Structure 1
Amino acid sequence: MAFPELLDQVGSLGRFQFLQTVALVVPILYVTTHTMLENFSAAVPSHRCWVPLLDNSTIQDSVPGTLDPEALLAVSIPQGPNQRPHPCRRFRQPQWQLLDPNATATNWSEAATEPCVDGWVYDHSTFTATVVTKWDLVCDSQALKPMAQSIFLAGILVGAVVCGRISDRWLPESAQWLLTMGKLDQGLRELQRVASINRKRTTGDTLTREGLLSAVQELSGAQDSTTLGALLHMPGLRLRTWISMLCWFAFGFTFYGLVLDLQALGSSNIFLLQVLVGVVDIPAKMGTQLLLGRLGRRPTQAGSLVLSGLCILANTLVPYEMGSLRSALPVLGLGSLGATFTCVTVYSGELFPTVLRMTAVGLGQMAARLGAILGPLVQLLSIHSPWLPLLVYGAVPVLGGLAALLLPETQNLPLPDTLQDVQNQAVKKATHSTPAPSVLTSTRL
């Protein structure tokens, strides 16, 4: 009896699979929600330097005449980006000459300014307080925010490695993997457990150790090459492994780099932008399931990555004043990255044999976590140019999408169980791709 038939008997889709999915989804939802809170708990409100003329009532009362706050702001704070008060510099002395109607706001030199030595004044109209306002993570200290985000994501990576072993106590091993590794007794117990939870106890009781031997014979194979080295050195698996890791990395790098700093996308309403990201993500993931069945794995994987990268790259050409378009393009790009995640999860499981499947998927998820750690740090490039982070975020998924075209298509193909199955697929692909000899060549031969 083949293993798929065994799985159908004990219940391939029942209560057991539902409970296992819930057990995995609930922690993921918690971690994702906690991660997205960074957009609010670490939001950067508008700010300027503290200046005596505006923020010290005693000195303000000594100013001759009746100058309004806008005039006092003009003589105290130089203009910064987008013709707004500079967030990190102030005049050493009030520039009264700027009140002259014939004077321009650029009639001052860098030497006439100084950093915010007395602290900052923040706009509390949207956020009463954030970690940025509490610890002044602005100007010269603005690099601390993405560094803290990277450390947080690095902690998730460490937790995944450490807690992976702990999860084995309550997440059952794959019965197919156990049989492949020759662990018949454990495989039998897991299949009987699945049958019991799926209310097919009678079927589970009929399963015997001898009845699994036929399935073991079909699954038997390269148990001696189930190490990480086989993924990185075997010709049939090496290319799949590196490209799969690149796709995982591109997702984690770009997604977390953008989604942890939605303010950088140019929207004036970060709450609405957060809702749009969530709303777009749901149909994107549902639509991906349809595309995987219609177009196949390889076109869907490549297309979702390239589309997300092009949306982000296009945003570098949009003027800052067009806030709606600057927000719409990244939201579309993030939706495409959601499709990328769905696709790479399915695709990775079909590219590798059973004996190495979880190792390969785990390696890909490690690459995604590494990309997530590096993603927020790219925001530091905005010090040199505001469009440089978007250029990097867009280029990486485009390269990953193009590389995905080198992977084999797995739609409607049986899952490989052994390393020999992968080698057979590679040989079959090479045979079909070799052109038949022409009539002229055959005649000459």
Structure 2
Amino acid sequence: MSFVELLARLGGMGRFQVTYVAALAVPLLMLASHNLLQNFTAGVPEHHCRPRPMANATDVPLAVSIPWDGHHRPQRCRRFVEPQWHLLDANGSAGAAANGMATEAATEPCHDGWTYLEGTFTDTIVTEWDLVCDSKKLRQVAQSIYMAGILLGSGLFGVLSDKFGRRALLTWCYLQLGATGVGTAAAPSLPIYCLCRFLTGLAMAGVSLNSASLCMEWIPTEARAVVGTINGYCYTLGQFVLAAAAFGLPRWRQLQLVVSLPFFVFFFYSWLYVESARWQVTSGRPDLALRGLRKVAKVNGRKEEGDKLSEEALRALVRREPPLPGGAVAALVRTPGMRTVSCGVSFVWFSTSFAYYGLAMDLQGFGFNVYLSQLVFGAVDIPAKLLSVLVISCLGRRAAQGGSLALAGLCILANIFVPSELPALRMAFAVVGKGALAASFNCAYIFTGELFPTVIRQTGMGLGGTMARVGGMVAPLVRMAADVTPVLPLVIYGAAPIVSAIATAFLPETRNAPLPETVKDVERR
């Protein structure tokens, strides 16, 4: 009897599994809120230098103090050293400057700070700490530090949860995420803000990894694709929650607090979670696994079946293999089959995240209302993930994974040939590409969990998460390649998913296959 057959005897996708999946899915609503939060908390409003104070002067036109750019707007980062009264027309208006009259007057940086104009963003970390002009790179640094936290957490919590269990680590991550999120909202300075965001990123990775593994290890094989898609839709709904919360809470500290406090609620109810019986058996704790399985049987109305179980039966149920030299990390590349899986998973996760964050973290760059753009980018996930689950279930994981990556790459590359005078068409290609990447993420969570054996599944998930965060960190840097040629970033963003789609062809198909328990199971595929 296999573990899949045991779950079927204990109720299959019964009341316990439905409740468990729902409890794990609710916190996923808030993942998007934190991952994409700086689209709103770090929004950049229109701004210009604060003019020099002038004695005995009131209602002085701005053009006297601030030079205008080629778009007839005040320059953001320079001001005149001396007032340029000659730029005024005879009637005292600033018509000459507004019409682009050139001036060779000396300018200087904004020594007295900036004036931020009323608009979409009124109170962000940019306005509070003046992250503009020479300091504008610090805005991206803050996001990169957050992604670095997720990068470290993906590897760290993957290894730790294989050693100490999924539930304990998930409970801790809920608490850490809530506490550091509140700390971010109260940060008195940018360094403290960045530190709290880094720690939030650490916990975010742990929540994502352990939620996926607990779902995967408690549900029957035939329900994996549906449950994985439900979790993906929770992330999608989270993008709507973020847009609504950001629209209703224009002050960044309030928004940060609102998306962080729910994790304290998740922390308290996570004590009711049942640890993965698969992990408990493979880690030599069949007594605890027996207790958990009997609880599952009771909730599912199969108490008699639970009473028939014994520790000896569980030991025989999940085959154990002696620890491999070098530990779990070395096992990822020690055998040919594991090397193929590890390399393929790395390609998939890196390119999906790389292209995804290249699109999703540049909402202001599309020229549309940022709240509407967030809603559209979230809405496209609904049909994309629905289509992905149909392909996953009917054609298999490999076809769904490769197809979504190829489509995303082609949509991004198509924008190379669309002129900037057609922003709606560029937005349309970006939305379709983002939807394909959302489908790729949806498939990757399912596919990765099925490719790695139970004994190192969390380590393998951690590898995928690590590569995803590397992609997320590299994505903003690639935009700097536009200084070489404007289309180069799009070429790189589009080529990466296509290369990974080719790599997916070398991975084994896992549709309707039992989860591998040991490395030997992977080699036998």
**What is the TM-score with the length of structure 2 in the denominator?**
0.68
Aligned 1:419-434 pairs, distance under 5 A: 419-425=519-525
Cα distance in 1 for residues equivalent to 2:425 and 2:41: 26
Instruction: Indicate the percent of aligned positions where both proteins have the same amino acid.
Output: 45
Which residue is 2:323 aligned to? 224
Aligned 1:215-364 pairs, distance under 5 A: 215-216=316-317, 219-220=318-319, 222-225=321-324, 227-264=328-365, 266-364=366-464
What code does the residue aligned with 1:321 have?
Answer: E
- 1:134 paired with 2:128, answer yes
Cα distance in 1 for residues equivalent to 2:28 and 2:280: 26
Cα distance in 2 for residues equivalent to 1:60 and 1:312: 51
Which residue is 1:202 aligned to? 304
1:122-148 deviations in Å (ceiling 9; x for gaps): 221222222212222112111100111
Which residue is 1:120 aligned to? 114
Cα distance in 2 for residues equivalent to 1:76 and 1:180: 69
Shift of 1:106: 8.2
Is contact 1:298–1:404 with CA below 8 Å preserved after alignment? yes
Cα distance in 2 for residues equivalent to 1:78 and 1:385: 27
Cα distance in 2 for residues equivalent to 1:166 and 1:184: 14
Shift of 1:149: 1.1
What code does the residue aligned with 2:297 have?
Answer: A
Cα distance in 2 for residues equivalent to 1:379 and 1:211: 56
Cα distance in 2 for residues equivalent to 1:396 and 1:212: 44
Which residue is 1:30 aligned to? 30
Alignment equivalent of 1:406, drawn from 479, 498, 506: 506
Which residue is 1:87 aligned to? 76
What code does the residue aligned with 1:320 have?
Answer: S
Shift of 1:224: 3.4
Could you say which structure has the larger radius of gyration?
1
1:37–1:191 CA distance, 2 compared to 1 (3 A): same
Is contact 1:149–1:376 with CA below 8 Å preserved after alignment? no
Shift of 1:284: 1.4
Alignment equivalent of 1:186, drawn from 279, 288, 307: 288
Cα distance in 1 for residues equivalent to 2:36 and 2:436: 18
Structure 2 unaligned blocks of 5 or more: 90-94, 169-270
Q: Please tell me the root mean square deviation across aligned C-alpha atoms, in Å.
A: 3.4
Cα distance in 2 for residues equivalent to 1:399 and 1:190: 43
1:57–1:395 CA distance, 2 compared to 1 (3 A): farther
Which residue is 2:12 aligned to? 12
How many residue pairs get matched? Answer: 409
1:401–1:132 CA distance, 2 compared to 1 (3 A): same
Which stretch has the larger CA shift, 282-291 or 119-128? 119-128
Is contact 1:146–1:379 with CA below 8 Å preserved after alignment? no
Is contact 2:385–2:439 with CA below 8 Å preserved after alignment? yes
1:324–1:198 CA distance, 2 compared to 1 (3 A): same
- SS of the aligned residue for 1:313 comes to helix
Which residue is 2:143 aligned to? 149
What code does the residue aligned with 2:347 have?
Answer: L
- SS of the aligned residue for 1:227 comes to helix
Cα distance in 2 for residues equivalent to 1:159 and 1:237: 22
Which residue is 1:46 aligned to? 46
Is contact 2:152–2:466 with CA below 8 Å preserved after alignment? no
Cα distance in 1 for residues equivalent to 2:522 and 2:17: 27
Shift of 1:318: 3.2
Cα distance in 1 for residues equivalent to 2:373 and 2:427: 7
Is contact 2:66–2:78 with CA below 8 Å preserved after alignment? no
Cα distance in 1 for residues equivalent to 2:347 and 2:85: 54
What code does the residue aligned with 1:86 have?
Answer: Q
Structure 1 unaligned blocks of 5 or more: 64-68, 426-445
1:88–1:400 CA distance, 2 compared to 1 (3 A): farther
Cα distance in 1 for residues equivalent to 2:99 and 2:495: 40
1:367-397 deviations in Å (ceiling 9; x for gaps): 2233334434445556666655444433332
1:150–1:86 CA distance, 2 compared to 1 (3 A): same
What code does the residue aligned with 2:470 have?
Answer: L
Cα distance in 2 for residues equivalent to 1:119 and 1:388: 35
Shift of 1:212: 3.9
Cα distance in 2 for residues equivalent to 1:74 and 1:290: 63
Shift of 1:42: 1.1
**What is the TM-score with the length of structure 1 in the denominator?**
0.79
Cα distance in 1 for residues equivalent to 2:395 and 2:18: 28
Cα distance in 1 for residues equivalent to 2:355 and 2:336: 29
- SS of the aligned residue for 1:48 comes to strand
Cα distance in 1 for residues equivalent to 2:334 and 2:37: 41
- SS of the aligned residue for 1:233 comes to coil
Shift of 1:181: 5.3
- SS of the aligned residue for 2:472 comes to helix
Is contact 1:77–1:89 with CA below 8 Å preserved after alignment? yes
What code does the residue aligned with 2:167 have?
Answer: D
1:320–1:196 CA distance, 2 compared to 1 (3 A): same
1:394–1:286 CA distance, 2 compared to 1 (3 A): same
What code does the residue aligned with 1:296 have?
Answer: G
Cα distance in 1 for residues equivalent to 2:489 and 2:73: 22
Shift of 1:97: 7.1
Cα distance in 2 for residues equivalent to 1:332 and 1:83: 35
Cα distance in 1 for residues equivalent to 2:417 and 2:73: 22
Cα distance in 2 for residues equivalent to 1:410 and 1:74: 69
Cα distance in 2 for residues equivalent to 1:402 and 1:85: 49
- SS of the aligned residue for 2:131 comes to coil
